[in-house]
Amino acid sequence: MTLKNIIFLNIPQVLNEIQKTENPVIISEKNIFRLYPFLFNNQNIPHLILNINEKQKNFHTAKKIWDFLIQNNITKSHTIFIIGGGVLHDVTLFACSVFKRGIPTIS
């Protein structure tokens, strides 16, 4: 699911995919949050919203993701939904692979 894909996807399908996952976690960007705030209504789903662009493709952003994953006790039993553009995908996939190699991600 990339930013381009989510705009054309049926949003109820995205919600259904997240809700049927046993331990979902959402990492997204502010633009998605502004467009689809209801994706983040479930307080039981840990979510991180980043203001991200090419300049934030760095270790500082990866550390924000690591801190979030640690604070929420994320394990390999969780599935990370990455909802946003290419920079978000790059830095989140990097951070997840370093944090817990093989942690499930859907993007």
Instruction: Report the candidate in 49, 43, 53, 51 with the shortest Cα–Cα distance to residue 28.
Output: 49
| pLDDT given for residue 39 in this prediction | 76
* C-beta separation of 17 from 106 below 8 A: yes
Pick one of 1.10.630.10, 1.25.40.10, 3.40.50.1970, 1.10.3720.10 as the CATH number of 3-106. Answer: 3.40.50.1970
pLDDT in tens, 28-58: 999 888 888 877 787 788 999 999 999 999 9
pLDDT in tens, 51-106: 999 999 999 999 999 999 999 999 999 999 998 889 999 999 999 999 999 999 98
Prediction pTM value = 0.84
Segments making up each domain of the chain, as ranges: 3-106
| pLDDT given for residue 11 in this prediction | 61
Q: What is the dihedral of CA 14, 70, 22, 44, to 10 degrees?
A: -70
The side-by-side arrangement of strands in the sheet containing 47-50 is 47-50, 24-29, 79-83, 105-106
Cβ-Cβ contacts under 8 Å for 36 (sequence gap 6 or more): 6, 11
Kindly tell me if the per-residue pLDDT of 9 is higher than 50.
Answer: yes
> Position of tokens 């919203």?
49
